[in-house]
Amino acid sequence: MKIDIILAGVGGQGILSIAATIGLAAVEAGLYLKQAEVHGMSQRGGDVQSHLRLSDKEIASDLIPFGKADMIISVEPMEGLRYLPYLKKDGWLITNTKPFINISNYPDEEKLMAEIKALPNHIALDADSVATELGSVKAANMVVLGAASPFISIEFEKLENAIRTLFGRKGEELVTLNLNALNTGRKFSMEAQK
């Protein structure tokens, strides 16, 4: 078993929480893991990505080679497309459709959606709206992770446990919110594939 994931977003959107959740679940599952993060300058509202690699065998490189990622999980629609050179030809793009606009030349949203829909394998959902309905837009990242979860061959329960561990210190309310977000995202994705 081997999964290579590119996580994409804008600094501050919580891709490291997604990485931490999958990471904890992977450790519980007894898998090897490597996760390259971006710290420093780019975190100031710039594009950020993380390479997340899981395997039942030892992993060599911290970076995923071009064309080898099984999926891109993106919390922002344009940012997912930025890393397409990493994606396998039949890989999945799982993306939030809600743009994060902090630049003046942000592309036309319809054209952006057309690019996403042109990919053979994609799941696109407005995670911000889903999360807001569930209680807080801050859980949008977990909605996206939920949508990606059917493609990550780790038991779903282990992802739930990871959320309990990660958010446990911050109170029961946050745990429930994020678990709901994860489950709602997952349901959307299962429906979409039917």
Partner 1 sequence: MQKLLLLGDEAIAQAAIDAGMSGVYAYPGTPSTEVTEYVRSSREAREKGIVATWCANEKTAAETALGMSYAGRRTMTCMKHVGLNVAADAFINSSITGANGGIIFLVADDPSMHSSQNEQDSRFYGKFAMIPILEPSNQQEAYNMVHYGFDLSEKFQIPVMIRITTRLAHSRAGVVRKSSHEQNKVGLPENLRQFVLLPAIARKQYKMLVDNQPAFLKESEESAFNTYLPGKDKSLGIIACGLAYNYLIENFPERDIPFPVVKVQQYPLPEKHIRRLYEECDSLLVLEDGYPIVEEMVKGFLNLGKPIKGRLDGTIPRTGELNPNIVGAGLGFEQEETLDVPSLVAARPPSLCKGCSHIDSFTALNEVLEIYGRGRVFSDIGCYTLSALPPYESINSCVDMGASITMAKGAADAGLVPAIAVIGDSTFTHSGMTGLLDAVNDKSNITVIILDNSTTGMTGGQPSSALGKIEDICKGIGVDEDHIRVLKPLRKHHEENVQIMKEEIEYNGVSVVIPRRECIQTLNKRMRDKFKEKAKAAGK
Residues within the interface to partner 1 (CB under 8 A): 10-11, 19, 23-24, 27, 32-47, 59-67, 78-79, 81-87, 89, 102-103, 105-108, 111-112, 115
Provide, rounded to whole angstroms, the least separation between the CB of residue 97 and partner 1: 15
Is the CB of 90 or the CB of 191 nearer to partner 1? 90
Length of the chain: 194
Which DSSP symbol is given to 155?
A: -
Residues 6+ apart with CB under 8 A from 3: 53, 54, 55, 70, 71, 152, 153
Provide, rounded to whole angstroms, the least separation between the CB of residue 98 and partner 1: 15
Provide, rounded to whole angstroms, the least separation between the CB of residue 61 and partner 1: 4
> Do residues 158 and 29 lie in contact, with contact meaning Cβ atoms separated by under 8 Å?
yes
Provide, rounded to whole angstroms, the least separation between the CB of residue 40 and partner 1: 3
Is the CB of 96 or the CB of 184 nearer to partner 1? 96
Of 134, 168, 127, 189, residue with least CA distance to 21: 168
**Of all helices (H) and strands (E), which one includes residue 132?**
helix 127-134
Is the CB of 107 or the CB of 135 nearer to partner 1? 107
Is the CB of 82 or the CB of 156 nearer to partner 1? 82
